[in-house]
Structure 1
Amino acid sequence: MKNPLLYRLSQFIAFLMGARVFVTLLLTFALYVSTFFLFNQEESLIKFVFDFKAHGIIFCSILSILAGGIINQFYDREKDQVTKPFRTRIQNFLKQKYFLYAYLILNLVSLSIAAMISMRVFFFFLVYQFLMWLYSHKLSKIMIVNNLTFVGLSLYPFFGMLVYYRTFSFYILLMSLFIFLMLLIIDVLKDTLTKNADKIFGYQTIANTFSSRITDTVIVLLLLAAQVSTGMIIIKVGLKSIMSYYFGFSIFVQIISVFFVLNKTKNSKFINLNMLRIWIFVGIISMLANGINQHYFS
């Protein structure tokens, strides 16, 4: 006989993994850090804390991202059984219909809050949710479009906060280009690890359409483009802050990444992928440290 408490706990963990809650928590942290220390150039911490409209937009983003994770795993379920068997087994503790109920509820709550903020915010999130469904249903199987759409949707909430605060500058443009290229490289690298399963289930990617040599060339070219954008940021701001040192070290990380791409050892792709993911997280921490230093110690 099943232990009811253990079974409910398993269902709860299944929901957390199905909704990709841990990824959402990281994005939430990144949203708050970038909003206060990058986009928000005028408000003090006290004013920001009581800026309920900004918190409402971020909360709508969180709910929409959770819903997007659910609908993505719903459409990717067959592929995930091959590429992520452990996570799939845990998710099987909860029936798919409950994931769909949660998907609808999260989207409806998000849109309701957005409508209370303004109709522009409502339509912003309506478009976001539609694009996430379209990506999961169709676009994720179209070569190149899948990578560009995935990265675009990852950055969509940040664009919303940028528009909200109307903070446009050449520095932010260069930072956006850097992050876009790094996330694109990560997504293409991820496809190289799942190319066989992608091909079986009809996902067209650069990795399973072209040869390994062409795929590696594409990744190296993207890394070179990322190095150019990184160099432009350093030229723009100089080496005088925590973030500028982060970008300085980014060039070395990108060079190491090129080495891993050209290195054909067994785990080089996996190590490369996780190194770049960790480096993105280091960037968020660097932005936080840089913001605290500028706001409170300068």
Structure 2
Amino acid sequence: MLDLFSGIGGFSYAGEKLVGGYETVAFCEYDKHAQKVLRKHWPDTEIIDDVRELANDAERFRGSVDIICGGYPCQPFSLAGVRRGDKDDRHLWPEMLRIIQAVRPTWVCGENVAGHISMGLDTVLSDLEAGGYQARCFVIPAVAADAHHRRDRCWVVAHSDDAGQSASQRAREDNRNQPWNDTWRRSTDVADAGSRGSENARAENVGNADKSNSQRINGWEPKPSEQGGRQGFAARCEDVPNASSPRLQGDVGQGQAGSQGKSEGYPAKCRWWEPEPAVGRVANGVSGRVHRLRQLGNSIVPQVAARILWAIKKSHNG
């Protein structure tokens, strides 16, 4: 894995610690405090300061990287900002694209805010397709991994076209030759998207965790006996405020994931959230509290990334 816009290493933590089988060859992160966190937990892994410098020298990673991950800056697209898009100085997707083009990994996994769907997502999907990747996007909130807050995020997953053609060209030539295995077909209806052409698989096809079929987002269709119930891995948004509900406390009931947190080999350690300690609303004497809060706010939720990386690993290894 080449981990871009690494922050405190959420993608690498998900791939190495929660899923297993991933190894991070380098981080790219400019924030000095975040770099300290990365050096503490990955002391032997290279940290590159500037994504632009990495883009100029990315070919050195070609042949040694299977997947590039990165939560490219959200400020150009966030509904909380002025949404200047590609006119924002923090618009760094073009640099991530340059790195992808130079390294040519088999997989790409990107993350951004939900506001990206209405601004910039079409460009990202088109850039990936033009570069020989078939890409799909999903909205998976933190609550889908049983977190105690919603935190909607847009996740872009792309797989390379071995023939070097664009995804739409390949779909026209052989719409059966999809680079996704059955795990992804069940969760994203890729075969149906392929019949329409990848150029049409845009924001209207983004998975919506609010919909009644939200159990499909994470790749597990409910059994017929479960379709009428509330079971399954994906959470329902109306439960989010109820922190006392059994589901939010870790009891997922009789869903596909099972009460032991297992689903087709998915590691159980990704399923549980430790209860929060009973501390006051104001924490006194916490070292680097402002830095910590900023890093947590900028970070991805590793438990959500782990679901995606687990499915990619399963597909990649056949």
Question: Normalised by the size of structure 1, how large is the TM-score?
Answer: 0.30
Higher Rg of the two aligned structures: 1
Q: Comparing both structures, which one devotes a greater share of its residues to helix?
A: 1
